[in-house]
Amino acid sequence: MSEKSPGALLSEHLGLVEAPVDRVRTVVLNVPTGELSGPDVPVVLGSARTVTVSGGPATFTADAGTPIVIDVDREAGWVQAHGEWWWCVRLQVEPHPDGALVRRSAYNRATGAAGRLVPYTVGRGHRRQGHAALLGLLDDLGSRLGCDTRLLPE
């Protein structure tokens, strides 16, 4: 795996989880296989869906109505999901003096003329949706790990 950006950055949001980085990575980077729903769904996909996940250990395929590819780089501390022709969401977990920094980044994978149009068409709502998704993830991580979480300034 590579830490190389999967495309042009559309939005990025930061949160803090007041738990050791290893504990946070265990939850965020976990990608179980099989038919999954609720809290068993990989957190990079969100729990509000039922998915079938196969593959591993570094690249998985998820079917949630549309095919999604999930890549995990445990050494670098990130997991990303990409699908359709244009989007990728990466969750990066990094050390922070107060616990673990969780970085949620949305990327535009499209190239050429289509890539230049994404921020004005299908990618318009990514800043707002990314903010809401990170809030939901922080709430989920706080519940799972029994710790405080908070958004950080961008």
In the 3-class helix/strand/coil scheme, how is the chain assigned residue by residue? CCCCCCCEEEEEEEEEECCCHHHHHHHHCCCCCEEEEHHHCCCCCCCCCEEEEEECCCEEEEECCCEEEEEEECCCCEEEEEECCCEEEEEEEEEECCEEEEEEEEEECCCHHHHHHHHHCCCCCHHHHHHHHHHHHHHHHHHHHCCCEEEECC
Per-residue model confidence as pLDDT tens digits over 62-95: 998 889 999 999 999 999 999 876 778 999 999 9
Residues of the chain falling short of pLDDT 70: 1-3, 85, 110-128
Which pLDDT score, from 0 to 100, does residue 3 have?
Answer: 60
Which pLDDT score, from 0 to 100, does residue 88 have?
Answer: 85
Which pLDDT score, from 0 to 100, does residue 1 have?
Answer: 47
Which pLDDT score, from 0 to 100, does residue 4 have?
Answer: 74
Which pLDDT score, from 0 to 100, does residue 101 have?
Answer: 99
Which pLDDT score, from 0 to 100, does residue 116 have?
Answer: 57
Boundaries of every domain in the chain = 8-152
The answer regarding whether domain 8-152 maps to CATH 3.40.50.720 reads no
